[in-house]
């Protein structure tokens, strides 16, 4: 059974399932300024895992096991910079809105329809590179998360916590529905990233990564993955903040690890989203979905590892470094 979440506590999105930490809570700390942090409790490994059921398939996953504890902190300088950038962008928009011609209903409708078509095409293209990952641990546990194809020879980037500490078999389901046994190429628990590879006969479509420096607060983004085992799910949001710092550890406070420079987004992230891409309106990956705040699901506060970090770590893992 999952541990009850006490009122006023925060939690991160879990990997789905029993035997895997998921649902979580953490009480928020006090204090402001550089180095001040608010406490978080992480879900299972942030966004996704499901326990394996009876032979022949995967169960929907009973209640999650106790979560990991997370803490969030932001330096005063970073927070101030975000506010300044947001205020500047908002002011510029207000001026344009006041000085520009008033849009007619027909132009609004045409713009909305065009935007929806563009978003649909974008998502359709990106979804070809998103995969579902199921892991059976050597200790009898199991997990389910997401991943994104980064090389046409079957290299896939995901979160290290999706694989867990003792991965046994790893099965990847591609966008076309085909299932493949995957090999673990390497993991980097410090950055919570891992690379696995599937063997294929023909080149696979791959995702394009954006430069981290191109990401701005307020940018529209889409989160893709398999939340709650629902493959092909897409949620929309914005980049809420940049350069966030969070700390992850076990529920008893042990094994705490600090993660820096995270992207904060209000795009819905739930169990199973871990390892999936966060993409911009150009269809480029800007982050790898990793954490969510809220024990019962996303409440508009999620975190992703920046594309620059993710791509660099992936290259090192593939090179064997």
What pLDDT is stored for residue 256 in this prediction? 61
CA 144 – CA 50 distance, rounded (Å): 5
What is 36-88 written as a DSSP string? -EEEEEE-TTSS----B-STTSB----SPBPPEEEEEE--HHHHHHHHHHHHH
Q: What is the mean pLDDT of residues 283-289?
A: 97
Q: Rounded to 5 degrees, what are φ and ψ at 247?
A: -120, 135
Here the tokens at position 239 are: 């980049």
> Which of the following is catalytic: 274, 295, 298, 307?
274
Degrees to nearest 5, angle at CA 145 with 162 and 141? 55
Tell me the per-residue pLDDT of 240-271, one tens digit each, with 9 for 90 and over: 999 999 765 444 454 566 789 999 999 999 98
Q: Say how many C-beta atoms besides its own lie within 10 A of residue 5's C-beta.
A: 18
Domains, the chain, ordered by start: 127-198 (2.40.10.10)
Would the pTM count as exceeding 0.85? no
What pLDDT is stored for residue 166 in this prediction? 81
Judged against a pLDDT cut of 70, whether residue 36 lies above it is answered with: no
Here the tokens at position 88 are: 């500047």
> Which of the following is catalytic: 22, 143, 161, 298?
161
Max distance between CA atoms of the chain, in angstroms, equals 65
- CB-based burial label for 92 (10 Å; 0-12, 13-18, 19+): exposed
> Which of the following is catalytic: 22, 143, 192, 212?
192
Is 240 tagged catalytic?
no
Is 180 tagged catalytic?
no
**Alpha helix segments (H runs only) across 68-207:** 76-99, 105-127, 160-163
Is 243 tagged catalytic?
no
Higher pLDDT, 297 or 229: 229
């Amino acid at each position: 059974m999952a541990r009850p979440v006490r009122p006023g506590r925060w939690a991160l999105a879990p990997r789905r399932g029993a035997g895997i930490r998921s649902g979580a809570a953490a009480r928020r700390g006090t204090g402001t300024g550089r180095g001040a942090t608010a406490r978080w409790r992480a879900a299972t490994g942030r966004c996704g895992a499901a326990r394996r059921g009876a032979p022949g398939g995967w169960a929907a996953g009973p209640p999650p096991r106790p979560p990991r504890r997370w803490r969030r902190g932001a330096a005063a300088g970073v927070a101030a910079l975000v506010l300044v950038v947001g205020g500047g962008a908002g002011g510029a928009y207000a001026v344009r809105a006041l000085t520009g011609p008033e849009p007619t209903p027909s132009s609004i409708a045409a713009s909305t329809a065009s935007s929806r078509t563009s978003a649909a095409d974008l998502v359709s293209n990106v979804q070809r590179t998103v995969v579902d990952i199921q892991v059976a641990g050597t200790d009898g546990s199991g997990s389910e998360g997401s991943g994104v194809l980064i090389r046409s020879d079957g290299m896939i980037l995901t979160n290290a916590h999706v694989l867990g500490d003792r991965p046994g078999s790893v099965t990847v389901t591609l966008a076309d529905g085909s299932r493949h046994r995957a090999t673990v190429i390497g993991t980097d628990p410090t950055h919570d990233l891992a690379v696995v590879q599937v063997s294929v006969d023909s080149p696979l479509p791959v995702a394009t990564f954006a430069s981290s420096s191109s990401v701005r607060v307020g940018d529209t983004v889409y989160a893709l993955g398999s939340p709650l085992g629902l493959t092909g799910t897409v949620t929309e949001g914005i980049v809420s903040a940049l350069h966030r710092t969070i700390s992850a550890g076990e529920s008893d406070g042990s094994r705490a690890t600090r993660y820096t420079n995270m992207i904060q987004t209000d795009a819905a992230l739930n169990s199973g989203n871990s390892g999936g891409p966060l993409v911009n309106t150009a269809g480029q990956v800007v982050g790898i979905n990793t954490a969510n705040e809220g024990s019962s699901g996303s409440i508009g506060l999620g975190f992703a590892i920046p594309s620059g970090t993710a791509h660099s770590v992936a290259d090192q893992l593939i090179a064997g470094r």
